[in-house]
Amino acid sequence: MSIKGSNPPKIVYRNQSDELITVTFSDPIKLDYDWNVPDYAVKTSVITGKKTRIKKGEYHQFKLDILKLDSTLHTSLKAINASSEVRFYPHADNSTYYTCIITKLQPYYNKNLVFLDACKLELETDSYVAD
């Protein structure tokens, strides 16, 4: 399951009452890392029309496919605003975390056609990372 831990990931965020809320995921879950994703800006010369790519920085991106979504977890995930800043722990047994924003939260039907029983969750670091 992991590179540096054995427990599934968790997310810690602040709710509207400024309380820390921890959302812990349970297996089965698929976790995909994209380290050092570059962010480029394309500048076009107004005189010659030549385009130049300028690297602004790099960030980390995390994609989770939660294959066991129960009603409690679904409610917790809905409470997180799509643009909320969260602490993402790739492994609950490791103290390493990344301050991220949630870029995608999409529940879907996996094995049950009546209830949403799975979810795709994408996060990326809120600022550029240093090498």
**Is 130 inside any structural domain?**
no
**Is 90 inside any structural domain?**
yes
Domain that holds residue 104: 10-125
**Is 1 inside any structural domain?**
no
**Is 113 inside any structural domain?**
yes
Q: What's the structural domain count of the chain?
A: 1
Answer yes or no: are the C-beta atoms of 45 and 126 closer than 8 Å.
no
69 C-beta neighbours (distance < 10 Å), count = 20
**Is 86 inside any structural domain?**
yes
- Over its length of 131 residues, how does the chain's per-residue pLDDT go in tens digits? 444 567 888 899 888 788 888 888 887 888 898 999 999 999 999 999 999 999 999 999 999 999 888 888 888 888 886 557 899 998 877 788 999 999 888 888 888 888 788 889 999 999 999 86
The CA-based dihedral angle spanning residues 56, 36, 9, 118, taken in that order and rounded to the nearest 10 degrees: 80
**Is 5 inside any structural domain?**
no
**Is 108 inside any structural domain?**
yes
Q: Quote the pTM value.
A: 0.80
**Is 131 inside any structural domain?**
no
